[in-house]
Amino acid sequence: MQTATMRAKLFNVRFSDEEWQRLEALTGHLGLNAANLIRMLLKEKARELGVEPTTPEAPRPRVKRATKGGR
């Protein structure tokens, strides 16, 4: 998965052997790498709990306003 911009945050984590085996089993089953698996799980859980981060609103289209003379 390629993104248009470089991700700014870095997160390092240490796994026990058991946790690493779970990670490898899931990545192999889903065909993802570890980083994308974690992103996917975070997104799914956030949606499930209703805690999705807010995104900035898209700019609203400009509306032409009527001038005083009716033009």
**Residue 6 included in any domain:** no
51, two tokens: 């805690």
The residues, ordered by sequence, that sit 6+ positions from 48 with a Cβ below 8 Å of its Cβ are none
Q: How many domains does the chain have?
A: 1
pLDDT reading at 9 higher than 70 = yes
**Residue 54 included in any domain:** no
**Residue 45 included in any domain:** yes
**Residue 29 included in any domain:** yes
Domain region containing 23: 17-49
**How confident is the model over 10-42, as pLDDT tens digits?**
999 999 999 999 999 999 999 999 999 999 999
Is the pTM of the predicted complex or chain greater than 0.75? no
- For residues 8 and 15, which has the higher predicted lDDT (pLDDT)? 15
Q: How far apart are CA 17 and CA 15, in angstroms?
A: 6
